[in-house]
Amino acid sequence: MGRGSLIERKVKVFFFFLSIAQWIVESHGGTITAFANKPSGTTFQVKLPK
């Protein structure tokens, strides 16, 4: 009842952990960038300062 589909839950969990990763990377002065690569999916690039 109102729980949503399995895919919807997986997407929510993915974005939850992505937001944590973004917080960690940005707190160290880095960035996360997403690139759409149709049809294979999305690539995430993480850059941290040396």
Asked if residue 3 has pLDDT above 90, the reply is no
Q: Strands (DSSP E) along 1-50, which ranges?
A: 31-37, 41-47
State pTM to two decimals. Answer: 0.72
Domain boundaries, the chain: 6-47
Q: How far is Cα 19 from Cα 15, in angstroms, rounded to an integer?
A: 6
pLDDT, greater one: 41 or 2: 41
CA distance 3 to 20: 23
pLDDT, tens only, 4-40: 788 898 989 999 999 999 999 999 999 999 999 888 8
